[in-house]
């Protein structure tokens, strides 16, 4: 097992090299002109300024040189300088990644628990009103666009009922906790500042729920169908023949079997959300990777696009690795060599 994990880890840099190359080439092939972001429009007619800017950002070099230089810098952890923020991309990302991770992890926890609970309920009481309600709730989560459900909930819960605070990670003019992990929840606790922790949590609750609701939909459907299938299989009949009540057949027998497909979906969803939480981040003014990626793409900020792509790729590779390990653990029939 250990050797397997090690082998997988070793393969990651090579895969990243491929991802970096493809993202570099693709962004070079786009029709847009990054100069538009770098040079004010009225100076575009001045060839000297344009040439100077090109030279400063290395855009005057031929493609192969730029490619090699980019990869060389990448090896040293340098993702280049963002055209729009004029700061190192790595620094931008390091600042924003914890915000996204905190949101996505919270959403995954909410989505997994709700999905498992609803899936179990609707499998246990299939065909009844409980089943219908659970399935409709799940269906809404996966079919309502986040920008709609997020806005409505924000309006109702925050503006009208004032149950939850507004957007952002903290109220304006509240100092974030001292930076240790970048997760405000953890940092607030590390600082021993419990009131601040509660404030952070209340700001996290709604966006995490909105994003988690979308995840709930996928998980509920998967868990329900796996459980219902499991309950009709021979092992469930054996359990009943032993005298097990339906509740035990469901939880002790069908559920462990349903975990196997669930793990795959969880890993994939997590990785997807790292760069896919864009809309939620936009609605809740969440300073994460998603909103950064949108701005980078809109302004043809190549270094930033490349940086986000690599972060997304790393997220997928790690999530896949963790999924495979968890898979082998959940399914004793799999032997890893």
Partner 1 sequence: MSPLLKTKDLRIEFRNDDGIWAEALCGVDLSLDPGEVLGIVGESGSGKSIAMMALLQLLPRGARVSGSARFKGQELIGMPPARIRQLRGKSIGCVFQDPLSAFNSVLRIGDQIAEAITLHDRSMSKRDALKEAERLFELVAIPQPAKRIRQYPHEFSGGMRQRAMIAMALANRPELLIADEPTTALDVTVQAQILDLLRDLRKDLGIGMVLITHDLGVVAGIADKIAVMYGGRIVERGTTDDVFYHTAHPYSAGLIGAVPSLDGTGKLQQIDGTPPSIFNRPSGCSFHPRCSQVEEICRMQTPELESVGETDCACHLPLVTRDAKVAE
Q: What is the CA radius of gyration of the chain?
A: 24
Helices (H), 144-254: 146-153, 184-190, 194-231, 234-241, 246-248
Q: How far is the CB of 247 from partner 1 (least distance, A)?
A: 11
Q: What does the alpha-carbon distance between residue 266 and residue 262 come to, in Å, rounded to a whole number? A: 6
Backbone angles phi, psi at 182, to 5 degrees: 90, -15
Q: How far is the CB of 243 from partner 1 (least distance, A)?
A: 4
Q: Which residues contact 231 (CB under 8 A, 6 or more apart)?
A: 123, 249, 250, 254
Name which of 135 and 253 has its Cβ closer to partner 1.
253
Q: Which residues contact 10 (CB under 8 A, 6 or more apart)?
A: none
Q: Which x/- pattern, by CB under 8 A, does the window 154-193 give for partner 1?
A: ----------------------------------------
Q: What does the alpha-carbon distance between residue 147 and residue 197 come to, in Å, rounded to a whole number? A: 27
Q: What does the alpha-carbon distance between residue 252 and residue 218 come to, in Å, rounded to a whole number? A: 22
Q: Which x/- pattern, by CB under 8 A, does the window 251-290 give for partner 1?
A: -xx--xx--x------------------------------
Q: Is 18 in the site for partner 1 (CB under 8 A)?
A: no
Among residues 31, 42, 162, 333, the one that binds partner 1 under rule CB under 8 A: 333
Among residues 35, 248, 318, 328, the one that binds partner 1 under rule CB under 8 A: 248
Q: How far is the CB of 241 from partner 1 (least distance, A)?
A: 4
Q: How far is the CB of 273 from partner 1 (least distance, A)?
A: 28
Residue 88's beta-bridge partner residues?
Answer: 81
Name which of 7 and 247 has its Cβ closer to partner 1.
247
Q: What does the alpha-carbon distance between residue 318 and residue 9 come to, in Å, rounded to a whole number? A: 9
Name which of 41 and 234 has its Cβ closer to partner 1.
234
Q: Are 110 and 100 in contact (CB under 8 A)?
A: no
Among residues 33, 238, 247, 285, the one that binds partner 1 under rule CB under 8 A: 238
Q: Is 28 in the site for partner 1 (CB under 8 A)?
A: no
Q: Are 335 and 19 in contact (CB under 8 A)?
A: no
Backbone angles phi, psi at 76, to 5 degrees: -90, 10
Q: Is 1 in the site for partner 1 (CB under 8 A)?
A: no
Q: Near partner 1 by CB under 8 A, which window of 193-201, 226-234, 279-287, 296-304?
A: 226-234
Q: Is 244 in the site for partner 1 (CB under 8 A)?
A: yes
Q: Near partner 1 by CB under 8 A, which window of 110-118, 197-205, 230-238, 307-315?
A: 230-238
Q: What does the alpha-carbon distance between residue 26 and residue 306 come to, in Å, rounded to a whole number? A: 10
Q: Near partner 1 by CB under 8 A, which window of 32-40, 50-58, 62-70, 326-334?
A: 326-334
Q: Near partner 1 by CB under 8 A, which window of 14-22, 74-82, 186-194, 327-335?
A: 327-335
Nearest to 89 by CA among 178, 24, 167, 10: 24
State the residues that interact with partner 1 by CB under 8 A: 232-235, 237-245, 248, 252-253, 256-257, 260, 330-333
């Amino acid at each position: 097992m250990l050797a397997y994990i090690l082998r997988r880890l070793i393969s990651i840099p090579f895969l990243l090299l491929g991802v970096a190359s493809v993202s570099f080439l693709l962004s070079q092939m786009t029709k847009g002109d990054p100069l538009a972001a770098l040079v004010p429009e009225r100076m575009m007619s001045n060839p000297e300024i344009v040439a100077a800017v090109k030279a400063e950002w290395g855009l005057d070099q031929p493609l192969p040189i730029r490619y090699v230089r980019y990869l060389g810098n990448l090896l040293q952890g340098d993702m280049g300088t963002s055209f729009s923020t004029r700061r190192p991309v790595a620094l931008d990302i390091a600042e924003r990644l914890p915000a996204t991770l905190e949101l996505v992890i919270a959403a995954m926890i909410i989505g997994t628990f709700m999905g498992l609970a609803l899936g179990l309920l609707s499998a246990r009481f299939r065909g009844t009103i409980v089943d219908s309600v659970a399935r409709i709730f799940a269906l809404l989560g996966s079919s309502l666009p986040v920008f709609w459900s997020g806005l409505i909930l924000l309006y109702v819960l925050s503006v009208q009922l004032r149950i939850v605070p507004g957007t952002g990670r903290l109220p304006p003019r509240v100092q974030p906790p001292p930076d240790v992990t970048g997760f405000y929840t953890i940092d607030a606790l590390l600082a021993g500042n419990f009131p601040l922790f509660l404030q952070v949590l209340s700001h996290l609750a709604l966006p995490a729920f909105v994003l988690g609701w979308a995840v709930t939909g996928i998980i509920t459907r998967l868990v329900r169908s796996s459980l219902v299938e499991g309950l009709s299989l021979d092992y469930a009949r054996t359990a009943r023949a032993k005298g097990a009540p339906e509740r035990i057949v469901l939880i002790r027998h069908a559920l462990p079997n349903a975990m196997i497909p669930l793990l795959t979906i969880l890993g994939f969803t997590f990785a997807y959300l790292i760069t896919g939480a864009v809309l939620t981040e936009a609605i809740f003014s969440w300073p994460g990777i998603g909103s950064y990626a949108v701005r980078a793409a809109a302004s043809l900020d190549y270094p930033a696009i490349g940086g986000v792509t690599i972060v997304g790729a790393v997220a997928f590779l790690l999530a896949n690795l963790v999924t495979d390990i968890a898979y082998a653990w959940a399914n004793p029939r799999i032997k890893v060599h």
